[in-house]
Chain A
Amino acid sequence: MKMVKLQKKNLNAFLAGLEKFGDLHGPVRRDTNDFAFQKVDAPEQIAHDCLRTILPPKKYFTKPVDTMFTFSEAEGYRAPDKDLHTKIILFGVHPCDIHGIKILDLVFGGQYRDEYYFARRRNAIVVGLDCMPDEYCFCRSTGTDFTEDGFDLFLSDIGSSYLVRVGTSLGDDIVLETSTLFQEIGDTDRRAYKRRSAQRINSFEVEIHLEDLPEIMDLEYESRIWQELGDKCLSCGTCSMVCPTCYCYDVVDQLNLDAKSGSRLRRWDSCLFKDYALVAGGHNFRADRGSRIKNRYFHKQRGFVAQFGRPSCVGCGRCIVSCPAAISLVDVLTKLRSRGNE
């Protein structure tokens, strides 16, 4: 993999030079501790100290509320075209979120390929940025603390510079376009990178074991943990909204005033909502909250492993940080594992 060096003082010049590749988006401070990916007019608006945004980058590829098509008697069905084809540069994506995107690529690229997703995906340049974990990060446990692909460029902090890994030919084009800003890496940079990497690995405060978790979960299928969680869970949907790999959506039609034309929308859904497993005739397969939260855990940590060979959790910590009821995935998994051996 091609690697070059970018001095930190040149970062904004580099980002400003990317104009021809698309609109620049990056994490912007919303409140003291809150950040959100959004379009910036100038690179200076980007908050480089952002560890996790409220919503993950999935919002760019599968939007919270998305128009699938419009319909009318006169014009038939029309796909929206404008925002599917806007080119963007997504700067500051951490490894866990890149893995989140890679997981969504698998899901939306399956048997029924989702062109809405991939149209936007194709138009996004991903510039990754490394990070230092806080007390909620457990990406080391999920094997998503580092990534070798899923980005066009990836910047790792090595002191006064970034070590830049070039992941795609488009990434290489970008480097060539702004080549005066880059330098060859030298021995000091190599040492700095390794030092930083070791420091990062040693900074994780949380560790969970996922190796045999699917089996543990099968064994604890009837555990009273699920009911206890159901009593605590507010079904507010927050964890699903903020999860980099939650992809469920609901489809609704919205009518125009003639009640004949309108648009078909899809909107983020959550398996924690009461009506999620409600079917025609009024039967609800998961009528109680305990069974719904159990389903969420089983899908992420059990079903996804069976289907794709890995859990669909990237250890970003968002669900833990944002749960109003203070439900922690790490605590739940630890409890499942230790139950009976207390």
Chain B
Amino acid sequence: MAKPIVGIFGLTGCAGDQLVILNCEDELLDLAGALDIRSFHMAMSDNDEDCDLDIALVEGSVVQPEEVEMLERIRSRARLLIAIGTCAVWGGVQAMKNEEQREKLKRQVYGPKGKDFGIIPSQPLSSFVRVDYAISGCPIEKDQFLQAALSLIHGDLPVLPDYAVCTECKMRENSCLLLERGELCLGPITVAGCNARCPAYGQPCIGCRGPVEEANVASEVNLLREKGFTLVDIQNRLRTFGGQSEVMQVAPTERGR
């Protein structure tokens, strides 16, 4: 079987997901040997900008008109497009304040130099192109990425979790931070795959991996309010990582309460 031709790209984000790939130190040589990586700006020179790709891995969210074009170009070259990281999958932390006026923000941050470029509200890749698989995480989990890559190399579809952080948290027998300590934990609505790392260290889940499929946000909000959290606290937490996702847009009419 011919090696899959791969391109790894970054839009707007911290480049942490590409860094996770490079941090696969023990596995990197095997991985690079099993893939024909033609484009990976962060790690190599002489990138091929035109070849057809079997797999495009794209990190980061779309925040500039130019990035829409870049993404569409990548999509047109690739058989499979895989969003990697919470920015690419959900819009990321930069989508937190999407309702704020872009021009105003640009003036505040860049001053007169802001005139040289355009910006749009931060959006996930799926707002613009078809995304075949989404590996979320801030950053992505190394093992999950490797398993997904190996599945594709083998010709299988990657298996990604469809269940919440609570499942893995219970498997580890962590004390429940939500019930035992009354903390604002997003474990019940956040997609698993991290092996409940934060709760295992006594820190509540902040939802960095984005919402689980069919997340019951309304029930989560209800139970957090019953624990005494304000809607503003809850909404701030929900929107930190999942800001752009529809499910996280809880009852905006209630915001003033």
Contact = CB atoms under 8 A, between A and B. Distances in A.
Given A241-B171, A255-B147, A255-B154, A233 B219 contact: yes
A236 interface: yes
Interface in B100-126: none
B162 A55 contact: no
Contacts of B5: none
The size class of the interface chain B forms with chain A is: 35 or more
B163 A237 contact: yes
Contacts of B170: 54-55, 237-238, 241-242, 322
Contacts of B247: none
Interface in A24-65: 30-34, 36, 53-55, 64-65
Nearest to B162: A275
B213 interface: yes
B180 A34 contact: yes
Interface string A271-296: 00111000000000000010000000
B150 A234 contact: no
A79 interface: no
B50 interface: no
B167 A241 contact: yes
Contacts of A32: 180
B30 interface: yes
Interface string B206-242: 0000001110101110010000000000000000000
Nearest to B167: A237
A203 interface: no
A31 B223 contact: no
Nearest to B33: A257
B167 A274 contact: no
Nearest to B150: A255
Contact of A36 (B147, B173, B176, B223): B173
Contacts of A274: 162, 213-214
Interface in A156-208: none
B163 A273 contact: yes
Contact of B219 (A231, A242, A252, A256): A231
B139 interface: no
A306 interface: no
A235 interface: yes
Nearest to A231: B219
B218 A231 contact: yes
B250 interface: no
A144 interface: no
Interface string A217-243: 000000000000001111111100110
B15 interface: no
A322 B176 contact: yes
A136 interface: no
Contacts of B180: 31-34
Contacts of A324: 166, 176, 178-179, 187-188, 220, 223
A64 B170 CA distance: 10
A231 B220 CA distance: 11
A334 interface: no
Contacts of A54: 170, 173-175
Interface string B168-194: 001101111011100000011100000
A270 B154 contact: no
Contacts of B34: 257, 259
Contact of B164 (A235, A254, A257): A235
A325 interface: yes
A326 interface: yes
A117 interface: no
B27 interface: yes
Interface of B: 27, 30-31, 34, 146-147, 150-151, 153-154, 156, 159, 162-164, 166-167, 170-171, 173-176, 178-180, 187-189, 212-214, 216, 218-220, 223
11 contacts: A231-B218, A231-B219, A233-B216, A233-B219, A234-B166, A235-B212, A236-B166, A238-B170, A255-B147, A259-B153, A274-B214
Interface of A: 30-34, 36, 53-55, 64-65, 231-238, 241-242, 252-260, 262, 268, 270, 273-275, 289, 321-322, 324-326
Given A33-B180, A235-B163, A324-B178, 12 more contacts: A30-B173, A31-B175, A54-B174, A231-B218, A233-B216, A234-B216, A241-B170, A257-B34, A274-B214, A275-B213, A324-B220, A324-B223
